[in-house]
A and B are shown apart, each in its own frame.
Chain A
Amino acid sequence: MPHHKEPIPGTVMFDGTQAMKGYALNKMCYSFNNKENREEFLADEEAYMDKYGLNDQQKQAVRDKVVLDLIAAGGNIYYLAKFAGIYGLNVQDVGAQQTGMSVEEFKEKLRRAGE
């Protein structure tokens, strides 16, 4: 097999397994390209998740807004970014949450990488 090698710590390769697992969740997030869909979701999150057929794990991760749980439920970061955008969160906010840092600490870590 070409790509089945040792996992890289802290990294989920979004492959066919993940793509199948996360399909409904990612499809819902993809719908957020459209403003009316974002508004419909915010008006009734539960009904919107049912409409897209999310499973219980995916629904709970969406309710909690925990990015690592969303990834564990098959979410792909490019689509999850659209979900985070609804709440005005950028990739630094998302990075901070996943690494257990404050946003300021996370920004400082990035800045230090340039030294």
Chain B
Amino acid sequence: MARIVGGLTTSHIPAIGNAIARKMFEDPYWKPFFDGYPPVRDWLDEVKPDVAVVIYNDHGLNFFLDKQPTFAIGAAPEYKNADEGWGIPTIAPFKGDPAFSWHLIDNLVHDDFDLVTCQEMLVDHGFAVPMQLFWPNYADIGIKTVPLVINTVQHPLPSPRRCYNLGKSLGKAIESYPEDLKVVILGTGGLSHQLDGQRAGFINKAFDQMCMEKIVDDPEHFLDMSIRDLVLEAGAQGAEFILWLAMRGALTGKVTTRHSNYHIPISNTASGLLCLENAA
């Protein structure tokens, strides 16, 4: 049977992709951010997950406003990264696991989550940056992936409660997969940030720290929040916290924090990193 080994959170800002491409790991601006990741890579080396389910938002690479799904899931053998318009070099494709994807789709739709299913899918920085941060050698080790997209581009966005419940359903679906796979769930994006409007540059450290604490032991704290509440507290793009809540909903066992890091700013964003182990 498949088993969920843990959940990871990380910011997925394009500037990180650019810094990785330019190998700026020791640069004074970037070092406090990149230094957060080696302990998580050590944990991943220990646990060796076979599949990563990556919960992120598409930023206008695979989807446009002509068709904007609330939830979409990849079911492709391979996911290509592509030009997003600002010159970050395109990186090697990511492996998929179509049979596992379809198992998740069957179960999630059975639980009333209507997903757009994608047998072809381009993955943007929202997916590629977290994968590169956690598995710099992803192409060599051949870790398989399932992209799970939640709309944070066009309101109305799905509520915190709905995303958490999606995660619960995802967790159950994973654990009912008959193959012996070890699965890790990534919740990407956040923490507080706002890119647009006169409020651009808004960051709320106190709220972020509360999020990093409560998501471990009391994720239900957030379930009555509206999207507007989240935008007010965390900024327009801080609403990406719903991606973290979906990840947290999928963790089914006793959760232990193996590592965390919080740093301001990276680009316009307060970045949060968590490594949560999911005990059987």
Residues of A within 8 A of B (CB): 2-3, 5, 8-16, 19, 23, 26-27, 29-30, 32-35, 38, 67-68, 71, 76-82, 85-86, 90-92, 94-95, 98-99, 106-107, 109-111, 113-114
Contacts and interface: CB of A to CB of B under 8 A. Distances in A.
Contacts of A107: 265
B236 A34 contact: no
Nearest to B84: A33
B189 to A, nearest CB: 12
Contacts of B20: none
Contacts of A86: 85
B258 to A, nearest CB: 24
Contact of A114 (B194, B231, B270): B270
B267 A114 contact: no
Interface string B186-211: 00000000111111111101000000
20 contacts: A3-B155, A5-B226, A10-B202, A11-B194, A11-B196, A13-B236, A15-B156, A27-B66, A29-B60, A30-B65, A33-B61, A33-B85, A34-B83, A77-B196, A78-B153, A90-B267, A94-B195, A95-B200, A110-B268, A113-B265
A95 B268 contact: yes
B139 interface: no
A95 B153 contact: no
Interface residues of B, number: 42
Nearest to A79: B60
A46 to B, nearest CB: 20
Q: Summarize B's interface: helix, strand, loop or mixed.
A: loop
B155 A33 contact: no
A94 B200 contact: yes
Nearest to A13: B155
B267 A91 contact: yes
A111 B155 contact: no
A95 B15 CA distance: 14
Contacts of A35: 83
Nearest to A17: B155
Contacts of B83: 33-35
B196 A12 contact: yes
Interface in B73-95: 82-87
Interface in B229-264: 231-232, 236-237, 263-264
Closest 8 CB pairs of A and B: A114-B264, A85-B86, A10-B199, A82-B85, A10-B198, A113-B203, A77-B196, A110-B265
B231 A11 contact: yes
Given A10-B197, A12-B197, A68-B198, A113 B264 contact: yes
Contacts of B25: none
A11 B199 contact: yes
Given A3-B228, A15-B154, A30 B60 contact: yes
Given A13-B231, A33-B61, A106-B201, A91 B195 contact: yes
